[in-house]
């Protein structure tokens, strides 16, 4: 119990100290369209809608260049079909964005980098064995734009080499609502 309290207190103090120097801290919540190709020949795949939410922040390096990071829960589902049998694979990750953001003005900027994707879970609804959980490092490019003092939108494109052992050439397009605490 004491260890949990110490970890939570340390995380809280670290969050407060980071917020003091951050250009912005915020909460993101949105949807994404996920696609991937099957590794196995003869297996067709279809795109799936998924969710992404978490905390993000941007920290100034220069006046126009910021380091953008955070902690996001991201779903990467894929539906595979062999003949008439459909199987939905659901891969869930905790993403840590490691991106650089070029701030064009006070209302927006574009960013690029990678997401360090830590595997949280992997499930299949019509499979005899569970899919293997593996981390990944997708490349991401996007833009963050504010339309009100504390509200904005984050749009992005993500490309991932492999999703688990069964899928490759994954990609996603997403849009998140951004609520900032400036």
Provide, rounded to the nearest whole percent, the portion of the chain with pLDDT above 90.
60
- 14 pLDDT tier (thresholds 50, 70, 90): low
Closest CA to 88 of 130, 125, 46: 125
pLDDT attached to residue 98: 94
Q: What pLDDT, on a 0 to 100 scale, did the predictor assign at position 106?
A: 86
Output 21 or 5, whichever has higher pLDDT: 21
pLDDT in tens, 152-177: 999 999 999 888 788 889 999 999 99
Helix (H) or strand (E) holding 163: strand 151-163
CATH number of 24-180: 2.40.160.20, 3.30.470.20, 3.30.565.10, 2.40.110.10?
2.40.160.20
47: pLDDT strictly greater than 70:
yes
Give the pLDDT confidence score for residue 166 in this predicted structure.
82
On the question of pLDDT at 15 being above 60, the answer is: no
pLDDT-derived band at 17 (thresholds 50, 70, 90) equals low
SS3 track for 53-113: EEEEEEEECCCCEEEEEEEEEEEEEEEEEECCEEEEEEEEEEEEEEEEEEEEECCEEEEEE
Mean pLDDT of the 47-74 span: 93
Half-sphere exposure of 155 (CA within 13 A, CB side): 3
Mean pLDDT of the chain: 88
pTM beyond 0.75: the answer is yes
Burial class (CB in 10 A: 0-12, 13-18, 19+), 160: buried
């Amino acid at each position: 119990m004491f260890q949990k309290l110490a970890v939570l207190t340390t995380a809280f103090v670290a969050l407060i100290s980071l917020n003091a120097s951050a250009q912005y801290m915020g909460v993101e919540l949105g949807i994404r369209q996920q696609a991937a190709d099957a590794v196995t020949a003869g297996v067709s795949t279809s795109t799936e809608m998924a969710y992404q939410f978490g905390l993000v922040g941007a920290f100034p390096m220069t006046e126009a260049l910021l380091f953008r990071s955070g902690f996001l829960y991201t779903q990467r589902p894929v539906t595979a079909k062999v003949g008439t049998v459909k199987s939905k694979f659901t891969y869930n990750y905790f993403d840590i964005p490691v991106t650089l953001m070029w701030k064009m003005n006070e209302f927006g900027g574009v960013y690029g980098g990678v997401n360090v994707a830590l595997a949280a879970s992997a499930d299949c609804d019509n499979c005899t064995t569970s899919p293997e959980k593996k981390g990944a490092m997708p490349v991401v490019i996007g833009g963050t734009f504010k339309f009100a003092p504390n509200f904005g939108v984050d749009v992005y494109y993500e490309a991932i080499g492999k999703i688990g052992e069964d899928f490759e050439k994954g990609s996603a397009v997403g849009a998140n609502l951004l609520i900032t605490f400036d």
